[in-house]
Amino acid sequence: MSQSISILGSTGSIGRQTLDVARACGFPVRALTANRNAAALEEQCRAFRPELAVLMDEGAARELKVRLADTGIRVAGGMEGLLEAAVLPSAGTVVTAVVGSVGLRPTLAAIRAGKRIALANKETLVCAGELVMAEAERWGAEIVPVDSEHSAIFQCLQGCRDRGEVKRLILTASGGPFWGKRREELAAVTPADALHHPNWSMGAKITIDSATMMNKGLEFIEAMRLYRLPPEKILVVIHRESILHSAVEYGDNAVIAQLGAPDMRLPIEYALTWPARGPAVAKPLDLFACGKLTFSPPDEENFPCLSLARRAAERGGTATAALNGANEVAVGRFLAGEIGFLDIPRLVERAMERVPWGEADTLEAIFAADEAARACVRAG
């Protein structure tokens, strides 16, 4: 089994674990990209010898070119370089592991080049899901999810003959580090507190999103777009142990679930090897060590980001792009110590109220809503 890959966002958590999978499975790595960490990308390039290395920061790209002068690896910078990595002819699969809406343009470029998309950038479908899915259908590009929950659903749908057989998707959530706390307790939490996820090792932004429950809200929207189902067919369930990653309930009330240890290498590998399964890279699940598995409804009163995402999903159009843009800036301000934890949903809600929303039929409309929401949160 050989699958050549480009990794967009290779120095982040998903990117590094993708390289673990590539090493274990012997997948050639054709391109690596990152934001500005020249030292980390140099180390990866020397280990995996891609054709192309890209840093979004132009100054860091010039530094990387000097660092890799002895290797023959071509170095590029900026969005132009990111787009080149997304359409590189020698790569059959593009792993989109960049964080935020910056992933939208390269994902669309890869789709139009007919690549398989191993999608780890949920903002792509949140901001422009209808446009992205239409383009994938038009160009015959496969989109295989990397998020553990969406990978679980994808696996549970493999035996589904007709999407009409699906009664609902059951999307599980760990609840993050603060599950069970009330608003008065959440008011005092710090970024350091919020970055301690009980089960998963993830990047800073997604870890904060997990703490606010916005991550599940974004995945709720993503599931609607990826599986083309209305919001009433998606159920969010708190499952603290992160063993049952998600499930599909069928019309006859049979529920098929995917279980595994909380190890992102499993869904990453499946996205690269589907429809086959590769060698064991992820940790095995020890059922005797799991203990009790628990399930409960989400608490949308103390964690309102999930309900904000539902509201944006019901509006549709550019409302979801505004939600995402507002959240990205709010999370950044929280991590910088500029605002409190509870200011994140407050600022996102205010942006949703103030930013007009319309059809999400062009990139221009999507990015306009995104930027307007960001400006609103910056001003708050």
* Angular region, 175: left φ>0, alpha ψ -120 to 50, beta rest: left
Last residue within a domain, chosen from 145, 176, 202: 145
Higher-confidence residue of 237 and 13: namely: 237
Residues 101 and 172 in one domain: no
Instruction: Tell me whether residue 379 is in a domain.
Output: no
Beta carbons within 8 Å of 25's beta carbon, 6+ residues apart: 1, 3, 269, 272, 273, 278, 279, 281
Task: Taking residues 76-81, report their average pLDDT.
Answer: 97
Pairwise CA distance, residues 225 & 208, whole Å:
23
Determine the pLDDT at residue 200. Answer: 63
Tens of pLDDT, residue by residue over 166-222, are 999 999 999 989 999 999 999 999 999 988 877 666 778 889 999 999 999 999 999
Determine the pLDDT at residue 99. Answer: 81
Radius of gyration of the chain (CA): 20
High-pLDDT (> 90) share of the chain, %: 90
Beta carbons within 8 Å of 55's beta carbon, 6+ residues apart: 33, 34, 35, 36, 37, 38, 41, 61, 64, 75, 77, 81
Tens of pLDDT, residue by residue over 334-373, are 999 999 999 999 999 999 999 998 999 899 999 999 999 9
CA neighbor of 304 nearest in space, from 183, 202, 221, 192: 183
Neighbours of 159 (CB within 10 A): 10
CA 301, 303, 304, 307 torsion-angle sign: negative
Tens of pLDDT, residue by residue over 97-142, are 998 778 899 999 999 999 999 999 888 899 999 899 999 999 999 9
Last residue within a domain, chosen from 95, 119, 145: 145
Residues 127 and 174 in one domain: no
Instruction: Tell me whether residue 378 is in a domain.
Output: no
Instruction: Tell me whether residue 89 is in a domain.
Output: yes
Residue 155 has pLDDT above 70, yes or no: yes
Residue 22 has pLDDT above 90, yes or no: yes
Residues 160 and 105 in one domain: no
Neighbours of 342 (CB within 10 A): 18
229: domain range? 151-373
Q: Return the exposure string of 264-292: e unless at least 16 CB atoms fall within 10 Å of the residue's CB, then b.
A: bbbbbbbbbbbeeebeebbeeeeeeeeee
Determine the pLDDT at residue 3. Answer: 83
Residues 122 and 79 in one domain: yes
Beta carbons within 8 Å of 253's beta carbon, 6+ residues apart: 167
Instruction: Tell me whether residue 216 is in a domain.
Output: yes
CA 323, 325, 326, 332 torsion-angle sign: positive
Determine the pLDDT at residue 178. Answer: 93
CATH number (domain holding residue 216): 1.10.1740.10
Pairwise CA distance, residues 6 & 136, whole Å:
18
Q: Which of 61-70, 99-108, 239-248 has the lowest average pLDDT? A: 99-108
**The three-state (H, E, C) secondary structure of 119-137, written as one string:** ECCCHHHHHHHHHHHHHHH
Determine the pLDDT at residue 163. Answer: 86
Instruction: Tell me whether residue 135 is in a domain.
Output: yes
Instruction: Tell me whether residue 359 is in a domain.
Output: yes
Higher-confidence residue of 341 and 159: namely: 341
Instruction: Tell me whether residue 288 is in a domain.
Output: yes
Mean pLDDT score across all residues of the chain: 94
Residues 92 and 239 in one domain: no
Task: Taking residues 274-293, report their average pLDDT.
Answer: 93
Determine the pLDDT at residue 1. Answer: 41
The answer to whether the CB of 54 falls within 8 A of the CB of 75 is: yes
Residues 185 and 218 in one domain: yes
Residues 134 and 178 in one domain: no
Pairwise CA distance, residues 115 & 213, whole Å:
32
CATH number (domain holding residue 13): 3.40.50.720
Last residue within a domain, chosen from 123, 145, 167: 145
Give the C-alpha distances (Å, rounded to integers) separating 333 from 82, 211, 245, 351.
Answer: 26, 15, 30, 15
Residues 54 and 111 in one domain: yes
Collapsing DSSP to helix, strand or coil, 370 comes out as helix
Residues 260 and 130 in one domain: no
Residues 168 and 69 in one domain: no
Both tokens assigned to 366: 């999507």
- C-alpha 87: how far from its chain's center? 20
Residues 297 and 207 in one domain: yes
Pairwise CA distance, residues 236 & 225, whole Å:
16
State the pTM of this model.
0.92
- The structural domain count of the chain equals 2
Residue type, 306: L
Determine the pLDDT at residue 123. Answer: 82
Collapsing DSSP to helix, strand or coil, 294 comes out as coil
Instruction: Tell me whether residue 380 is in a domain.
Output: no
Residues 237 and 160 in one domain: yes
